[in-house]
Amino acid sequence: MDTAQQIEWAAKQVEALPHELSWRASVLRQLQYCQAVLSGTEPPERLEELTMGFIAVRELEGWQPEELPRTISAVQYELQQRYLPYAAKVRLGIHRRT
């Protein structure tokens, strides 16, 4: 699955979660923002502010499907790696030297 497909799959899974979960809407908005960045309709400046990976790991561990928190975290990491400048990657602790 490419990143766009991962976003689409994760969004469908999150949409199916109970509506009363306080973090559900936030994760959906962040996934929609990631899709917009990929499609070029939104600038990537706010990628450094994403928290959906942290929320997914904290709140979704043990939920079904098991790969949902891993996929959401992977989407956040992929977009931040692809679009953020090196200084932002250092701040987030996701920099890698090539």
pLDDT (tens digit per residue) in 44-80: 989 999 999 999 999 988 888 889 999 999 999 999 9
| pLDDT digits 0-9 by tens, 20-33 | 999 999 999 999 99
Q: Report residue 98's pLDDT band, with 50, 70 and 90 as the boundaries.
A: low
User: Quick one: tokens of 76?
Assistant: 């956040």
Q: Which contacts (CB < 8 Å, 24+ apart) does range 49-58 have?
A: 50/76, 50/79, 50/80, 51/26, 52/26, 52/27, 52/76, 53/77, 55/23, 55/26, 55/27, 56/27
pTM over 0.85: yes
User: Quick one: tokens of 53?
Assistant: 């990976």
